[in-house]
Amino acid sequence: MHSACLPYILKKDMTAANNSTPDSYCQNGINLLASGLANEAAESFRDAIALDPEHVEAHHGLVRALRDAGQLSQSVAAAMALIALTPRDPLAHTALSISLQRAGYIPQAESAAARARVLEWKTQLESPIDEDSLR
């Protein structure tokens, strides 16, 4: 099969089989991304977000797809939108850090990475202590 046909085939299969739900668009985006088709994956993640603006996995996928496609300023913007949606998610701040670093904004990337670490520490501190792990 010619690789240029793959995006069409994946999108056609996804639409026919999964009734165009946000989850199906997101899964299609993951499949496209795994196939090295970052631009097509970004389109599929955008479709998922259009149907469900709070679909966190689709936002994460969009950040990654745009970054892989070399659309770094759009990836940073998508990561900022993800952080607005999930401000306490360390992975959202990590995604921003990676996108900023790839775009050459090293001090800002380090700041976003530090914020991710702080959020992770807070999550750990807020978690109940497992008494069995202390023995």
- Token couple for 50: 């259009």
Is 104 domain-assigned?
Answer: yes
Give the whole-angstrom CA distance, residue 95 versus residue 54. Answer: 17
H or E, element range at 98: helix 90-102
Residues ≥6 apart with Cβ < 8 Å to 74: 66
Is 84 domain-assigned?
Answer: yes
Residue-level pLDDT at 3: 46
pTM of the model: 0.79
CATH code of the domain covering residue 43: 1.25.40.10
Instruction: Indicate the number of domains in the chain.
Output: 1
**Consecutive 10-residue runs of the chain (135 residues): their mean pLDDT?**
47 53 97 98 98 97 98 98 96 98 97 96 84 68
Question: Domain range for residue 29?
Answer: 3-126
